[in-house]
Amino acid sequence: MSDFTDLWNEIAPIGRADSGGYLRYALTEPELTLRDWFRTQAARRDMLVTDDGNGNLFAWRGEPWAPGTVLTGSHFDSVPHGGGYDGPLGIVSAFLAADRVAKSRSIAIAAFCEEEGGRFGVPCLGSRLLTGAIAPQQAGALKDRDGISFAEALGKTPDGAQPARIGNLKAFVELHVEQGRALETPVGVASAIWPHGRWRMDFAGVGDHAGTTRMTDRHDPMLTFAFAVLAANKEARLTGAHATVGRVQVEPNATNAIPSLVRGWLDARAADTGTLDQLVDGVVRKVTERAGRDGTSLTVTPESVTDEVAFDEALAKQLAARLGNVPILPTGAGHDAGVLSAHVPTAMLFVRNPTGVSHSPAEHATDEDCEAGIEALAAVLEELS
């Protein structure tokens, strides 16, 4: 077995569900187990581990936050029943790349907290806190589905922005499994992250008896919700964007009751901000009109909206050339690298995803491609540090 296979197998069982996917929500038991594993790996390499008071862990070769440090790493947390590669591949690869980089280099490895937003609803929560993109009080008050706040889970109100520390970083490089089918070589370099966001749509109607209420007397918010799902799909196809409604809550959610409230989340992404705005505006306009006909109401709340991230173009070209002219490609997925890029020269390496499937138990990358990713990351860390 390769170094990669050995280390990968250590974490493979942690948080795995019967579905074959992972339940590794931020600061829950499986993710805490992975954090312990992170500390063990760091200790084996004589790397000091610190946390930043925001839920993010860092392992340092050299002085913590020393000027000129090149940071790499990713996140442990998963979406519900997500794949094993999305996040952890970047941390496992970081430790193995560190083994192949000269000991004199100032490098560090990060495990960012709540990248998926799977528990507290705001993706990249750890990196947003560290960079000041979200206020500590606001982040601390976010609640999970059981009503536990982020501050409770963390054990404190997060410390928030640390600009002086981030300013000392020379670069951040995140290695990540590619999540579409756009990459046909083992490794590529990111050009940009599409602008994207999450909008909560609350459809309010009048709860009533499913058997006795005449169709013409109804104010059924499920109808407006269903219309919104189809409208978002159509609008995305027309504009060449991506739109998904993957999460729903219904009150009271009973077979024989017309719902009083349906809550759906719109995930929308596009190659540029104009297209994204056009998509969301189009959906909201059409659904509001439909709500009028259904006798229901629609309230839209943007939960997190991120403008386009263009990674440092010169850096991307430099790294692609260093790796043998590998492809440079954009992605529709958000990443901590996107948040960091506003503050630090930032790059991303992608490892090929043969099926393009991600956020699913079927997510996969070959061991050979993962090995190529580690080699590439080691070369990039040598190049930059």
* Residues ≥6 apart with Cβ < 8 Å to 297: 203, 204, 205, 291
Residues in contact with its own copies, total (CB under 8 A)?
72
3-state secondary structure of 324: coil
Span 97-136, contacts to its own copies by CB under 8 A: 116-118, 121, 123
Span 317-346, contacts to its own copies by CB under 8 A: 331-334
Residues counted in the chain: 385
**Using CB under 8 A, which of 357, 364, 382, 383 touches its own copies?**
357
Establish whether 269 is an annotated binding residue.
yes
In the bound state with its own copies, the residue whose beta carbon lies nearer, of 260 and 318, is 260
The residue with tokens 């706040």 is 149
Give the DSSP H/E element, type plus range, for residue 40: helix 29-44
In the bound state with its own copies, the residue whose beta carbon lies nearer, of 61 and 219, is 219
Span 252-271, contacts to its own copies by CB under 8 A: 252-260, 265, 267, 269
The contact pattern for its own copies, residues 36-75, with x = CB under 8 A and - = no contact, is ----------------------------------------
Establish whether 242 is an annotated binding residue.
no
**Using CB under 8 A, which of 1, 102, 164, 215 touches its own copies?**
215
Establish whether 214 is an annotated binding residue.
no
Establish whether 364 is an annotated binding residue.
no
* Residues ≥6 apart with Cβ < 8 Å to 157: 136, 137, 140, 151
Strands 57-61, 48-51: pairing kind: antiparallel
Region near its own copies per CB under 8 A, out of 59-67, 90-98, 307-315, 351-359: 351-359
CA 329 to chain centre: 18
Establish whether 119 is an annotated binding residue.
no
Q: How far is the CB of 274 from its own copies (least distance, A)?
A: 18
3-state secondary structure of 48: strand
In the bound state with its own copies, the residue whose beta carbon lies nearer, of 27 and 245, is 245
Establish whether 31 is an annotated binding residue.
no
Hey, what amino acid is at 116?
A: E
Beta bridge pairs of residue 172: 71, 346
**Using CB under 8 A, which of 227, 344, 347, 372 touches its own copies?**
227
Q: Would you state the torsion angle of the CA atoms of residues 177, 183, 187, 188, taken in this order, to the nearest 10 degrees? A: -100
CA 302 to chain centre: 17
Establish whether 116 is an annotated binding residue.
yes
Region near its own copies per CB under 8 A, out of 5-13, 41-49, 159-167, 223-231: 223-231
In the bound state with its own copies, the residue whose beta carbon lies nearer, of 208 and 307, is 208
278 contributes a contact to its own copies by CB under 8 A: no
Establish whether 81 is an annotated binding residue.
no
Q: How far apart are CA 60 and CA 69, in angstroms?
A: 9
Q: How far is the CB of 105 from its own copies (least distance, A)?
A: 32
Span 185-214, contacts to its own copies by CB under 8 A: 194, 196, 198, 206-214
Q: CB 289: neighbour CB atoms within 10 A?
A: 12
Q: How far apart are CA 216 and CA 63, in angstroms?
A: 70
Phi, psi dihedrals of residue 24, rounded to the nearest 5°: -120, 65
In the bound state with its own copies, the residue whose beta carbon lies nearer, of 61 and 269, is 269
DSSP state of 32: H
Q: Which two tokens stand for residue 202?
A: 């609350």
220 contributes a contact to its own copies by CB under 8 A: yes
Q: How far apart are CA 282 and CA 381, in angstroms?
A: 44
Span 137-196, contacts to its own copies by CB under 8 A: 178-181, 194, 196
Q: How far apart are CA 147 and CA 32, in angstroms?
A: 19
In the bound state with its own copies, the residue whose beta carbon lies nearer, of 155 and 214, is 214
**Using CB under 8 A, which of 12, 43, 141, 230 touches its own copies?**
230
Q: Can you say which residues are annotated as belonging to the binding site?
A: 75, 86, 116, 176, 198, 256, 269, 359
